[in-house]
Amino acid sequence: MIASVAGRVAAVAPDGAVIEVGGVGFAVQCTPNTLAGLRVGTTARLATSLIVREDSLTLYGFADDDEKQLFEMLQTVSGVGPRVAQAVLAVHHPDAVRKAIANADTAVLVRVPGIGRKGAERLILELRDKIGSVPLLADGVPAVRGGRQAWHDQVHQALVGLGWSATQAEVSVAAVAEQVDGEVAAGGALPSVPALLKMAIRVAGAAHDGRVR
């Protein structure tokens, strides 16, 4: 079991990073929120969970042990694998997940790609007695900060971490927000943070190539 890795950040990509430890580069799958805190060339520590399959070894990384513990707990639920568990943490803060489970709030859980109503009900049924105490927050974590939705900041930070300037990141996030806000207003679902980041990267790349003015 590789419980954590600490070393120089060698690379950051939309879905993961490479951490050099003792001359060995560990490829670590991370959520956009975790990636936003990493900078190439700096030293970082990630709590990790190693998923072993017949044909692969995949290391998942987290900003802290709390996220890692919830990631592993989510996988104790039948039908929930590492990718769905990571998607939960990409969309919601751990405290928001615990609050949703404690309050049997399926509406919060079904916002995660890959989780339908039955899956949300199964999460609540199997984890409600395991999550322990839940902080008394009015609404999990703030959905809006100074007029911005939480994903705006996460995607902005991830773009900057990938090498875009703060201005380029801001323009790209604004373009994506305009698109998805219209879709949500029309009754569509808000995409996951990884999906939003990919959209923003496409916008930023197009702008860099001179196709968006």
pLDDT in tens, 162-199: 778 878 888 888 888 888 877 777 777 777 777 888 88
Q: Are residues 104 and 150 in the same domain?
A: no
What total number of domains does the chain contain? 3
| Any domain includes 213 | no
Res. 209 pLDDT band, cuts 50 70 90:
low
Are residues 35 and 48 both part of a single domain?
A: yes
Min mean pLDDT across 58-62, 119-123, 143-147, 175-179 is at: 143-147
Shared domain for 70 and 58, answered yes or no, is no
To the nearest whole percent, how much of the chain has pLDDT over 70? Answer: 87
* Residues 15 and 49 both lie in one domain: yes
**Strand stretches in the chain, DSSP E:** 4-13, 16-21, 24-29, 43-53, 56-62, 144-145, 148-149
Q: Enter the pTM of the model.
A: 0.65
Is position 201 within any domain? yes
**pLDDT average, residue stretch 132-160:** 58
Domain hosting residue 39, numbered range: 4-62
DSSP string, 60-75: EEESSHHHHHHHHHHT
